[in-house]
């Protein structure tokens, strides 16, 4: 994560899960990270948030929050924060 210009790195909790998408040559993959509550709080106050995922095929990056625009992924973290405040 890059939050207001500051980098945050989290390790995955286990091996990546893969599944072949039905009627397709595509594969879906997923993994999990644990983040401290203080990090969620920081996300809630941030002006900009970018996500960078390291994959076996390189880095995938995208904005979660930029110039007031909230990506669906940002809303996942926001709901988690709202649930515990």
Q: How confident is the model at residue 10 (pLDDT cuts 50, 70, 90)?
A: very high
Beta carbons of 13 and 34 less than 8 angstroms apart: yes
The confidence score (pLDDT) of residue 4 equals 97
Q: Helix, strand, coil: what percent of the chain each, to 5?
A: 25, 40, 35
Tokens 């002006």 found at:
47
The confidence score (pLDDT) of residue 14 equals 93
- The pLDDT tens digits for 53-72 are 988 889 999 999 999 899 99
Q: How confident is the model at residue 9 (pLDDT cuts 50, 70, 90)?
A: very high
| Separation CA 48–CA 16 (nearest Å) | 28
* Average per-residue pLDDT for the chain: 90
Beta carbons of 36 and 16 less than 8 angstroms apart: no
Closest C-alpha to 49, from 59, 57, 61: 61
* Own/partner pairs, 28-34, CB within 8 angstroms, 24+ separation: 29/55, 34/10
pTM across the whole model = 0.80
């Amino acid at each position: 994560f890059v939050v207001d210009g500051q980098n945050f790195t989290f390790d995955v909790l286990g091996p990546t899960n893969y599944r072949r998408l039905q009627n397709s040559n595509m594969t879906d993959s997923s993994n999990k990270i644990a983040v401290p509550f203080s990090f969620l709080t920081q996300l809630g106050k941030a002006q900009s948030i970018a996500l960078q995922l390291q994959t076996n095929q390189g880095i995938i990056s995208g904005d979660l929050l930029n110039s007031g625009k909230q990506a669906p992924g940002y809303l996942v973290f926001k709901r988690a924060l709202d649930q515990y405040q």
